[in-house]
Structure 1
Amino acid sequence: MNYQDWEMLAALYTTENITKAAEQLFVSQPTLTSRIQKLEEHYDVQLIIRKRRGVTFTPEGEQLAQHAQNMIREQRMIEEKINNMKNQVTGTLRVGVSNFFALNKMPKLLRLFKQEYPHVEFQMVTGWSSAMHRLVLNNEVHLSFIKGDYPWKGKRELLYEEEICVASPWDFTWDDLPNMPRIDYHTDENMKSLVDEWWYHQYSKRPNTTIQVNQVETCKEMIVNGLGFSILANLVVRPYPELFVKPLYKPSGEPMIRKTWMYYHEDSLQLNIVHAFIRFIRGLDVKAI
């Protein structure tokens, strides 16, 4: 097998779908199918079982796919070591980024870093903070930008804090909320637990949720267009002074805060590219960007 075969098997093993794997690898489905068939002929075993909505790996296929994942990991490590031996800031920085940070902060951060270190490339994965935590935990990325607190024995640095707030297109009192139309968005379990705990400490009835969306940015647009209120971190609605925004407080009287962190493994600082990027982030006011 060569590197392309490793990538193909790893992508297919992760997605369990030929169409998605082909899109991820920027190849056609027939090309991907042909490469799988050639591997099956080479090893004289069936590697995958096609189903209506995807594929399942045979035991032999699983062994080969896991080998492919290990080989990709080894290849990345040796490339990083060689780049590091050059004593230059070069190579590919792998970053996991929570959704809001990816949309609102990361493009400018990467542009500024690229201006300073033009020979650097980036591989970025976005998603919920819980998923980004798993990526850095499993060494699949060099570092992750994460909202909230997760179990972690490595290094992490606080970038900024946000108040959790109610944002509404209309003025309101706290007694109004249970009867007002609420807009919910999919978020990680940490944020959901914080909001639910606050709500049921304040009210005995369920919220009047009329709209549910996938992303906080979509939720914000719904609020701005007068469709209801939501509970979110205040950086999302800071650019909209026309909205009515009130922070949430814990029973102790402290404001409810959501922190954004940079998580990384200490040994990754041995890589010039990681060390340079973390030093670069430390020198910025990330919240203000």
Structure 2
Amino acid sequence: MDEKDLQIFLTLAETGNLTRTAEKLYLAQPTLSKRLQNLESELGATLFLRSKHGVTLTPAGEAARETFLHTTKDFEDLRERLQKGRGIVSGTLRIATSIDYSTYRLPEVLAQYTTHYPEVKLQIYSEHSRECVRQMQTGRPHIAIMRGECEWDEGKLLLERESVCLIRNKTNADTPLEELRYIDRDANPEHQSMKARWLMEHKLEPSSILNVEGLSTCVAMVKAGLGWSIVPEICLSYFDGIAEPLFFADGTPLTRSTYLLYRRREAELPQVRAFIQTVCERENIPSPVPRV
């Protein structure tokens, strides 16, 4: 049994599918199946139940997963301590990030980070913000970047508070909103509630609504002249239509916040500290951690 066997086991336990696991780890499926058989033989227990619907963990498999998770983390911690002693920023950095941030901000951050710290192995999980927070609570990622408000007792850094805008195509500039199609997308409950309040306060009840999935799709529909929408400013860098920041009836602006979450103890790891510093430099805000 080696680290590759642990990686195969844990990935299969997560996906529940041999084909997806083989693709994710760039292995031939017969090779993967053989290594699993050898692992079960070595441990003297059946770890997975196979069926046409996929695989599920047996009680022995559940016990093995707990041990393998701890073993894998112990290996990572050891490598990080050894590299730290050599003065090299390396190890693994696990980031859970909101889908919007991973689309519109993260690529440039990672380009700068990997230029300075090429020895760091990155694992990026792109999820809805609520799932990013949940993953942080389970201890899987080192860092989460989420949008909206949340309760978090450890390190919490405000990266940005952007405007929420009404957008439309220039060809629709003089057309009353009531005569245009409203393009909506599913967002988290906090953002949906904010949009609903603004619509209600401004007595807008769209008669025609187009529901789409994804912020980029929403903006593309507006650019094509299909209607108007309410979106956060993060997605408007290349939007060439009309964008108007919105305000509630009492004058309060509609905004969307982006936070970086971390655990203070893990911020002592050089690769984590370096990432926080990189993000702070790009956002031109003070870093809560000392320089690497």
Counterpart of 1:10 in structure 2 is 10
Instruction: Return closer, same or farther for 1:221/1:89 CA change in 2, 3 Å cut-off.
Output: same
Instruction: Return closer, same or farther for 1:28/1:183 CA change in 2, 3 Å cut-off.
Output: farther
Q: Percent identity, please.
A: 26
The answer to which of 188-197 and 251-260 deviates more is 188-197
CA distance in 2, matches of 1:56, 1:27: 20
CA distance in 2, matches of 1:200, 1:134: 32
Report the aligned-residue RMSD.
Answer: 2.6
Of the three residues 279, 282, 286, the one matched with 1:284 is: 282
Instruction: Return closer, same or farther for 1:263/1:182 CA change in 2, 3 Å cut-off.
Output: same
Secondary structure of 2:161's counterpart equals strand
The answer to which of 260-269 and 128-137 deviates more is 128-137
CA distance in 2, matches of 1:24, 1:69: 18
Matched, 1:19 2:19: yes
CA distance in 1, matches of 2:58, 2:198: 47
Q: Give the counterpart letter for 2:277 in structure 1.
A: R
Relative to the length of structure 2, the TM-score reads 0.85
Instruction: Return closer, same or farther for 1:136/1:49 CA change in 2, 3 Å cut-off.
Output: same
CA distance in 2, matches of 1:54, 1:197: 44
Instruction: Return closer, same or farther for 1:54/1:168 CA change in 2, 3 Å cut-off.
Output: farther
CA distance in 2, matches of 1:89, 1:104: 26
Counterpart of 2:192 in structure 1 is 192
Whether contact under 8 Å (2:177, 2:228) holds in the other structure is no
Whether contact under 8 Å (1:159, 1:286) holds in the other structure is no
Residue ranges of structure 1 left out of the alignment (5+ in a row): none
CA distance in 2, matches of 1:267, 1:193: 35
Matched, 1:272 2:273: no
Of the three residues 170, 173, 178, the one matched with 1:171 is: 173
Counterpart of 2:219 in structure 1 is 220
Deviations 1:46-68 (A, max 9, x none): 32223333222221222112322
Name the count of aligned residue pairs. Answer: 283
Whether contact under 8 Å (2:182, 2:206) holds in the other structure is no
Counterpart of 1:244 in structure 2 is 242
Q: Give the counterpart letter for 1:67 in structure 2.
A: T
Counterpart of 2:151 in structure 1 is 151
Whether contact under 8 Å (2:145, 2:259) holds in the other structure is yes
CA distance in 1, matches of 2:146, 2:19: 30
Residue ranges of structure 2 left out of the alignment (5+ in a row): 286-292
Instruction: Return closer, same or farther for 1:80/1:207 CA change in 2, 3 Å cut-off.
Output: farther
Q: Within 5 Å, give how 1:195-214 maps onto structure 2.
A: 195-200=195-200, 202-203=202-203, 208-213=208-213
Matched, 1:96 2:96: yes
CA distance in 1, matches of 2:141, 2:46: 32
CA distance in 2, matches of 1:65, 1:255: 48
Secondary structure of 1:33's counterpart equals helix
CA distance in 1, matches of 2:20, 2:284: 34
Whether contact under 8 Å (2:201, 2:248) holds in the other structure is no
CA distance in 2, matches of 1:171, 1:183: 16
Instruction: Return closer, same or farther for 1:180/1:282 CA change in 2, 3 Å cut-off.
Output: same
Instruction: Return closer, same or farther for 1:115/1:48 CA change in 2, 3 Å cut-off.
Output: closer
Counterpart of 2:47 in structure 1 is 47
Whether contact under 8 Å (2:18, 2:29) holds in the other structure is yes
Whether contact under 8 Å (1:105, 1:286) holds in the other structure is no
Q: Give the counterpart letter for 2:28 in structure 1.
A: S
CA distance in 1, matches of 2:92, 2:28: 26
Instruction: Return closer, same or farther for 1:40/1:171 CA change in 2, 3 Å cut-off.
Output: same
Instruction: Return closer, same or farther for 1:208/1:78 CA change in 2, 3 Å cut-off.
Output: farther
CA distance in 1, matches of 2:81, 2:98: 28
CA distance in 2, matches of 1:29, 1:209: 46
Whether contact under 8 Å (2:112, 2:278) holds in the other structure is no
